[in-house]
Amino acid sequence: MKYTKTALFLLAFSLSVHAQKGKNDKKIKPREEFVTELMGKMTIDEKIGQLVQFTADGTITGPKSGNNFIDEIKKGNVGSILNATGVEYTRKLQKLNMDNSRLKIPLLFGYDVIHGYRTIFPITLGEAASWDLKAAELSARIAAEEAAASGVHWTFAPMVDISRDPRWGRVSEGSGEDTYLGSKLAFARVRGFQGNDLMSLQTILACTKHFAAYGAAEAGRDYNTVDMSERVLRETYLPPFKATVDAGVRTFMTSFNEISGVPSTGSKFLVNGVLKTEWNFDGFVVTDYTGINEMVPHGYAKDNQHAGELALTAGVDMDMVGGVYLKNLKKSLDEGKVTMAQIDDACRRILEAKYDLGLFHDPYRYNDEKREKATITKKEYLDAALDIANKSMVLLKNDNNVLPLKKDQKVAFVGPLISDEWNIIGSWAATGDRYGFAVSLQEGVNNLIKDKSKVSFEKGVEILKDDRSMMAKAIESARNADVIVAVMGEFENMTGEAASRTNIDLPGIQKEFLAELKKLNKPIVLVLLNGRPLTLTWENDNMDAILEAWWPGTMGGDAIAQTLYGVSNPSGKLPMTFPRNVGQVPLYYNHKNTGRPYLGKSDPEQKYKSRYIDVDNSPLYPFGYGLSYTTFSYSNLKLSSDKINFTDKLKISVEVANTGNYDGEEVVQLYIQDKVGTVTRPVRELKGFEKIALKKGEKKTVEFEISADDLRFYNIDMDFVAEPGDFEVFVGGSSATEMNNKFVLVR
């Protein structure tokens, strides 16, 4: 049966959690008593060993370490192993540890499970376009179930970095530009990975990353510097991290960047200050890959020993791959540069996480071959991946209702990604199968269209190669069609870590090929497979329809085909602004005004305003934007009062009607503007959204409720408060909506 309801899946999971406990779990003492007693038996070397993570010989996600991790495991010098997956391999390493280490403290196995483990969902940015919190929780839940069944205890997700710069490759891993949406999705994903009970064999540790403000790297260049005011840090970049603490996340990862001159891995302010003291975070903190070592080239530490001292003092509990703690921490302790209390605190936090996973009850409880085989890529998982991929599609343009396609039309599918199985599941795709398992668009179309004479497939060009030898054949195929569908985009490794770009146009000669197709005077649909917002001004001017499919995952080909042919009505909304050109970057909807704001072309005096002389200030596609095959109208925006005090609730309602010819879903969005403050406020801020389903001709009233708490910000004195004054409310289908009303907040 086709999976359609994420809520039913999550309910079924919650009911089955307690039935999935390890059968061989032994009864041991309560956590605090057990860990305290264990630490009393540990030597200083064994305690430091718990703070050490090395990488196995699986997936490499950074510079290779020179350490022989096998020898270090035998010596009891390792607390965690990165990039070891599969029941057979993780059992082998765990047995090596348990047979050789004195106290037999289980290893913790970590792996980058970002948007799926074997069943791959849309990239995180694409999933964010669904604006569906239950879908985000479900995809994380399925990823956790598959990873846990394969011997993995810990994922390095969710990535909650807010970013306004599409040049930065890692936008693909996050939820886009908005703090409110990003916080809601971050909370949902932690709940998906961790569930309500870490002792369940269907859950794994989540890890919030990258702490903090990594998405604000200067020039969109990976690993680069970040410099911002504390107000911007706290209002824009920290709230999604706090949301994960509220969700109960058990681990955090520091970021590669510095903030205002201090690398995050050595920041007392961030780790011990904000995270562990202000937010009372009781889990443990791990560096990113060799993050401690990198404080030396940063110019913040004179050598690795000094870097380790700075990291531990800042509150970093585990050293990922760098080997700094293992090699230097005991010497630093002897020299009085760090304290035993600091080492004990880090060790305790890590041991508590292992206890909560049940590893002290049974170190092999995640190593069940039958469970692994029965769990990976279950039918309901693949159905869920298809459903969520459909929800992630964003229709950017649809002139003359070119879409949906009709099955009796002759359609020429062209472009470098029509039969692709490798790139379609995207970057950071864990152990996802590509060739032979992932569904290409060609396969998806063939699954849907029985009359094969109605479809043709010719690549025409490659993504990067300057090769025109296939173009003529593809153009001839297109000439004989009623509609052309061009499937274009990026290689999966063109977005992601270490994949920043200054040119975010369609790469290679893809645009040249589109220009040749345009000469045929046929309707052209452009389908995009990519991991970031692209600059599409020419495409928007020349294509009849544009569908942003992102990298949609294992079932992506079926999802694209179903969307193109109207089996699924696109409902996605952009989680990140698409600029007209890269010169506008950074570009985001909730910017500040200026003393000389540009009011648009209707402004009679334009020269001495905050504007460009060669392009409009506005984006090509704004945050929150996305079309449907049907149309929606908004009316009757009402506020329960035009004045509220600090204890009142303001109710906001609007009527939304499906005025088109198809059933569809709409994301109703609520924005607020604080008109005057002791510090200036953004022109709009997202404060609520609701995704609703409306049948053709149906009308619904959507209600929101806000209070003074939703209007707080860091004022001139850095107090987090709401200030009395005038506010404007905007409700509609994107951040560019003009429907508004007003109210006043009074004391």
179-193, pLDDT tens digit by residue? 999 999 999 999 999
Contact partners, residue 91, CB within 8 Å, separation at least 6? 151, 364, 367
pLDDT of residue 606: 77
Q: Is 451 a catalytic residue?
A: no
Per residue in 423-464, pLDDT (tens digit) is: 999 999 999 999 999 999 999 999 999 999 999 999 999 999
Mean pLDDT of 351-375: 98
Q: Helices in 546-622 by DSSP H: which ranges?
A: 556-564
Mean pLDDT of 701-712: 98
Mean pLDDT of 661-684: 98
pLDDT of residue 130: 98
Using an 8 Å Cβ cutoff, are 27 and 358 in contact? Answer: no
Per residue in 112-127, pLDDT (tens digit) is: 999 999 999 999 999 9
Question: Is pLDDT of 212 > 50?
Answer: yes
Using an 8 Å Cβ cutoff, are 385 and 616 in contact? Answer: no
The three-class DSSP label of residue 537 is helix
Using an 8 Å Cβ cutoff, are 591 and 682 in contact? Answer: yes
pLDDT of residue 66: 47
Per residue in 518-548, pLDDT (tens digit) is: 999 999 999 999 999 999 999 999 999 999 9
Mean pLDDT of 273-292: 98
Question: Is pLDDT of 17 > 70?
Answer: no
Q: How many angstroms separate the Cα of 725 from the Cα of each of 88, 646, 676, 711?
A: 63, 11, 7, 11
pLDDT of residue 333: 98
- What is the value of pTM for the model shown? 0.96
Mean pLDDT of 52-63: 75
- Sorting pLDDT into bands at 50, 70 and 90, what band is 2? very low
Please tell me the distance from the alpha carbon of residue 499 to that of residue 172, in angstroms, as a whole number: 10
Closest CA to 187 of 151, 126, 266, 133: 133
Per residue in 286-318, pLDDT (tens digit) is: 999 999 999 999 999 999 999 999 999 999 999
Closest CA to 75 of 326, 333, 355: 326
pLDDT of residue 3: 44
Please tell me the distance from the alpha carbon of residue 523 to that of residue 40, in angstroms, as a whole number: 74
Please tell me the distance from the alpha carbon of residue 747 to that of residue 645, in angstroms, as a whole number: 5
Cis peptide bond N-terminal to 106, omega within 30? no
Please tell me the distance from the alpha carbon of residue 481 to that of residue 457, in angstroms, as a whole number: 11
pLDDT of residue 506: 98
Percent of the chain whose pLDDT exceeds 90: 93
Percent of the chain whose pLDDT exceeds 70: 95
Question: Is pLDDT of 635 > 80?
Answer: yes
Closest CA to 153 of 212, 98, 94: 94
Question: Is pLDDT of 664 > 50?
Answer: yes
In which element (H, E) is residue 352 found?
helix 340-356
Burial of 498 (0-12, 13-18, 19+ CB in 10 A): exposed
Question: Is pLDDT of 639 > 60?
Answer: yes
Q: How many angstroms separate the Cα of 309 from the Cα of each of 39, 200, 325, 331, 338?
A: 22, 36, 9, 10, 6
Mean pLDDT of 77-91: 97
State phi, psi for 254 to the nearest 5 degrees.
-75, 160
Q: How many angstroms separate the Cα of 215 from the Cα of each of 227, 533, 622, 719?
A: 12, 15, 19, 25
pLDDT of residue 1: 39
Q: What is the mean pLDDT of the chain?
A: 95
The residue from 288, 319, 387, 558 that is catalytic is 288
Question: Is pLDDT of 6 > 80?
Answer: no
pLDDT of residue 15: 46
